[in-house]
Amino acid sequence: MSNATSHHAVIDLGSNSFHMLVVRKVAGSIQPLNRIKQKVRLAAGLDAKNCLSQASLERGWQCLTLFATSLQNIPRHQIRVVATAALRLASNADLFLARARDILNCSIEVISGEEEARLIYQGMAQNTIGSEKRLVVDIGGGSTELIAGIGTQANILVSLPMGCVTWLDRYFHNAVLSSQNFAQAEQSAREIIRPVSVNFRHHGWQICVGTSGIVQRLQEIMINQGMDELITLERLQQLKQKAIVCGNIKSLDIAGLTLERTGVFPSGLSILIAIFQELNIESMSLSGGGLREGLLYEMLC
């Protein structure tokens, strides 16, 4: 039986999903033991005054009760829990966090968008060998992080107030997939990206990687349809047209897209298209690391 004192855990309280990663450190190597992802959609519970609904609070607490069973024997100083966009924004975040701390029996940090971006880049850098100039894109539930760096050094850190849950509620709330809905979602995203685009273009990049679920889903679709794993604007536009033909989120039928993942697919797709267009990205691949890996790296190194 493994020694639980060698176990470490990181938890990411995201705006769409809560994630937990438990690892064991043995002889200098890190072995993943348990990964749990629960779709909580916390950001969907924010009202016009940024107050989280009781239902969204309960979903979050229920998820953390599940996580807590895996943390019982891990020393508290070997657990790190961070909260991101939805809890940065929520006017009643303190209410959620007070009970969440009791459930997990450990502290929770609400990190800034810039800190989130830094950790995402750190997690990517630990899983991607090379000293090239890089552009990293992470589309979350309530925010989108753009980071430019060289090798392991992040040089530009930006967190933008748009995400696949907030864009779903704002532009696809009626579940209709039309050219007009996509156009509005893309245009709004482009307007948010535009003020920072010059800095990123000036910095430049040789490699562009995505670290979020929407990029993973796109890659799965492409592999399922017999393509290589490279994401391009042309392929994104083709997928958008297929979605529009389906007409409704509930009717989405794209080979490689599972039913469980259809909900925020159109909103994430619209944001990614806007990023490709504003930054003139030629192609993007999937990174093997992101926020959770960045948290782990800082805890263990």
Task: Tell whether the model's pLDDT for residue 132 goes beyond 70.
Answer: yes
Residue written as token pair 């259809």 = 262
Architecture per CATH, 114-291: 2-Layer Sandwich (3.30)
Percent of the chain with pLDDT over 70: 98
Q: Does residue 3 have a pLDDT over 70?
A: no
Q: Where in the chain are all domains bearing CATH 3.30.420.150?
A: 114-291
Q: What is the mean pLDDT of the chain?
A: 93
With 90 as the cut, is the pLDDT of residue 81 above it? yes
- Predicted pLDDT at 4: 63
Closest CA to 143 of 256, 231, 12, 257: 12
* 1 pLDDT above the threshold of 50: no
Choices 3.30.420.40, 2.40.420.20, 3.30.450.20, 3.40.50.300: CATH for 6-110: 3.30.420.40
- Beta-bridge partner residues of 24: 7, 31
| Whether 281 contacts 205, CB under 8 Å | no
Which residue ranges does the chain devote to CATH 3.30.420.40?
6-110
Report residue 172: phi and psi, to 5°: -130, 25
When pLDDT is averaged across residues 178-190 and rounded to a whole number, the result is: 97
Q: Give residue 129's pLDDT band: very low, low, confident or very high (50, 70, 90).
A: confident
Bigger pLDDT: 174 vs 63: 63
What are the pLDDT digits (tens) for 261-271?
Answer: 788 999 999 99
Average pLDDT for 192-206: 97
pLDDT reading at 178 higher than 50: yes
Report the amino acid identity of residue 158: V
Residues 82-102, mean pLDDT to the nearest whole number: 97
pLDDT at 83: 97
- pLDDT, tens digit, 9 for 90 and up, residues 209-233: 999 888 988 888 888 888 888 999 9
pLDDT, tens digit (0-9, with 9 covering 90-100), for 234-289: 999 999 999 999 999 999 988 888 877 788 999 999 999 999 999 999 999 998 88
Q: What is the mean pLDDT of residues 84-108?
A: 97
Buried-state track 235-253, b at ≥16 Cβ within 10 A, e below 16: bbeebbebbbeeeebeebe
Residue whose C-alpha is closest to residue 166's, from 196, 144, 149, 193: 144
As given in the structure block, the two tokens for residue 228 are 């290589």
Question: Is pLDDT above 90 for 149?
Answer: yes
* DSSP β-ladder status, 109-110 and 17-26: unpaired
Q: What angle do CA 25, 113, 231 make, to 5 degrees?
A: 80
User: What pLDDT score does 67 carry?
Assistant: 97
